[in-house]
A and B are shown apart, each in its own frame.
Chain A
Amino acid sequence: MSVTAPGRAQIAAKTLRTDKWWLQPLGTVAVLLSFIVYATWRAFEGAHYFTEPLISPFYSPCLATSCVEKSSLLGTPVGAWWTLSPALLILVFPLGFRMTCYYYRKAYYRSFWQSPPACAVGEPHKKYTGETRQPLLLQNSHRYFFYIGLVFNTLLTIDGFLAFRDHEGNWGHMSVGTLVLLTNATLLWLYSLSCHSCRHAMGGRLNHFSKHPLRYKMWTLVSRLNTHHPKFAWFSLIGVALADYYVRCVATGAISDFYFF
């Protein structure tokens, strides 16, 4: 059934909106698809992800024996049996975080699934059950991906600090690459900390803020960040792709990393 269900005002048009309501879902599809295509290609490429001291965020931490020498911050516990790209070992986590993110859910439900494409615009599906059944019940695991995401953010921040070195590993240097990795890490932190699950964990689940002044303060802070969550979601997505691309360019020798000192 649709908006023309019996008893309602009989208006044939799926929507009477006169504005460009299709622009936003279209934009979302374009950006997300571009990212997916790029990220898939890069994840399977399995090369050009490390050039001392820079490592691509798609590949950190690099856990397989096949990882390029010196690129494994945490060692290579996975071992040699893994012969695919080492990115595939870890990308499921950031991917899961974004897939279950309350903001991205809105974005892709609207744009890819057209449910609904825009407000007061009819959706194409005959049936709708929302997030009441599998696999969508898994969206409720968002907080776990959030916790894991914090580990990744920490590692990527360390990667950023490790980039205060030169090609030989001497400390006390800084390049464009350092800035790229640190910016990427900052955006990821902003994205994670502004997350709805984070807001809930900080204090959202409490009913008496007055008895938990510290948590109330943290909740207030996260609430403020939370209003910018969509922005951080996009910036950090584009940021991570750009950071990877920059590392790739340096690793392939297409450009050389410019050192400030």
Chain B
Amino acid sequence: MTYTAKFRVWRGDDTGGGLVDFAVEVNEGEVVLDIIHRLQATQAPDLAVRWNCKAGKCGSCSAEVNGLPRLMCMTRMNTFAEDEVVTVTPLRTFPVIRDLVTNVSFNYIKARQIPAFAPPAGVAPGDYRMQQVDVQRSQEFRKCIECFLCQNTCHVIRDHEENKEAFAGPRMFIRLAELDMHPLDSKDRKVEAQEDHGLGMCNITKCCTEVCPEHIKITDNAIIPMKERVVDVKYDPLRWLGSKIGKRPGL
């Protein structure tokens, strides 16, 4: 079951770099990250790669394998033919630091701009009561492991660096959806999602959902419902009228 695979790994930093060819041993049951580690241990000791848990739970080893954003620890080698060249590059939406490691601070800066959970007034710790059906939508979004593959694949910023200012990205949209759907959050997130975080820039082409290793239905369960909630408060004249008459308070 052991064979020698052809790998092409991007090596370099922000001053330049390129794809470097390697021939490397592959054994049964291995994943791309194992092969990168073997390269480190045997051929390129200073090959930079970020990783932690090796089980698809921490979201550290994000990279692009044959052009597709993936977690290296969850990309099994048996998905490639033995004679196939496997190309591994860093995420292409964020600035590169070195080799496969990129600077993902964009995501942390954006996260900081989203107002935190606003606890309900007058409810003491221990007195929170929520029904399972009311929390499960938000729970789906809290499965996010922050691998930032969705942010990386989103063409809004991948192909348009200048949009990074105005656009928070799919990871932040599920955070906004999580909070807006939270049964006890006391803040309204709809208008700011549209006006401050660029929800309207999303054209729901769903690549975020396609690459999500946690299989979170980012587009269908977070972005589109948020767009619909925004319509409720911004673009639906009937609902607007309804809220003015006071028939539908609080929606």
Give yes or no for direct A-B contact (beta carbon below 8 Å): yes
**Given A9-B89, A140-B231, A207-B182, do A18 and B67 touch, yes or no (CB 8 Å)?**
yes
Complex Cα spacing A143 to B237, Å: 12
Inter-chain contact B153/A120, CB cutoff 8 Å: yes
Interchain CA distance A125-B162 in the complex, whole Å: 13
Shortest distance from the beta carbon of A51 to any chain B beta carbon, whole Å: 40
CB-CB under 8 A from A196, the residues of chain B are 220, 224-225, 228
How distant is the Cα of A5 from the Cα of B159 in the complex, in angstroms? 8
Q: Provided the pairs A10-B17, A16-B64, A128-B160 are in contact, do residues A204 and B207 lie with their beta carbons within 8 angstroms?
A: no
In the complex, are the beta carbons of B225 and A204 less than 8 A apart? yes
A residues less than 8 Å from B90 (CB atoms): 9
Interface residue tally for chain B (C-beta within 8 Å): 63
CB pair B66–A18 under 8 Å, yes or no, is yes
- Give CA–CA (A154, B204) in the complex, Å: 29
Q: Which residue from B84, B180, B205 sits with its C-beta under 8 Å from A110?
A: B205
Are B95 and A116 touching (Cβ within 8 A)?
no
Tell me the A107-137 residues at the B interface (CB within 8 Å): 109-110, 115-116, 119-123, 125, 127-132, 137
- B64: which A residues are within 8 A, CB to CB? 16, 120
Query: Complex: how many Å from CA A106 to CA B155?
Result: 13
Q: How far does the alpha carbon of A207 sit from the alpha carbon of B227 in the complex, in Å?
A: 15
Task: Report B208-251 CB contacts with A as 1/0, cut-off 8 Å.
Answer: 00110000000110001101111110111000000000000001
Chain A min CB distance to B247 (Å): 14
Instruction: Tally A-B pairs: CB < 8 A.
Output: 162
Question: Is B21 part of the binding interface, using a Cβ–Cβ cutoff of 8 Å?
Answer: no
CB of A127 within 8 A of CB of B160, answer yes
A7 to B92, CA, bound (A): 10
A131, B201: Cβ atoms closer than 8 Å: yes
Task: Output the least CB separation between A219 and chain B (Å).
Answer: 10
A40 to B243, CA, bound (A): 41
Q: A9-B10, A128-B156, A130-B202 are in contact. Are A119 and B131 (CB under 8 A)?
A: no
Q: Which residues from chain B contact A115 at a C-beta distance below 8 Å?
A: 155, 203, 205
A20 within 8 Å of B (CB atoms): no
Set B19, B134, B163, B207: member contacting A128, Cβ < 8 A: B163
Q: Is the CB–CB distance between A3 and B159 below 8 Å?
A: yes
Say whether B116 faces chain A, with CB atoms less than 8 Å apart.
no
Interface residues of A (CB under 8 A from B): 1-3, 5-11, 13, 15-19, 102, 105-106, 109-110, 115-116, 119-123, 125, 127-132, 137, 140-143, 196-197, 199-200, 204-205, 207-210, 216, 226-227
Please tell me if B16 contacts chain A, counting CB pairs below 8 Å: yes
**Closest Cβ–Cβ distance, residue A232 to chain B (whole Å):** 14
When the two chains form their complex, are residues B89 and A120 in contact, meaning their CB atoms are under 8 A apart?
A: no
* List of A residues within 8 angstroms of B92 by Cβ: 3, 8-9, 11, 120
Does B134 contact A207, Cβ atoms closer than 8 Å? yes
B89, B155, B219, B225: the one within 8 Å of A16 (CB)? B89
B75 is an interface residue with CB less than 8 A from chain A: no
- Residue of B153, B158, B163, B205 near A109 (CB, 8 A) is B205
Q: For the complex, give the distance between the alpha carbons of A130 and B156 in Å.
A: 8
**Could you tell me the distance in whole angstroms from the C-beta of A137 to the nearest C-beta in chain B?**
7
Establish whether residues A17 and B66, one from each chain, have CB atoms under 8 Å apart when the complex forms. Answer: yes
Chain A, Cβ-Cβ closest to B162: A1
Residues of B within 8 A of A18 (CB): 66-67, 84, 87
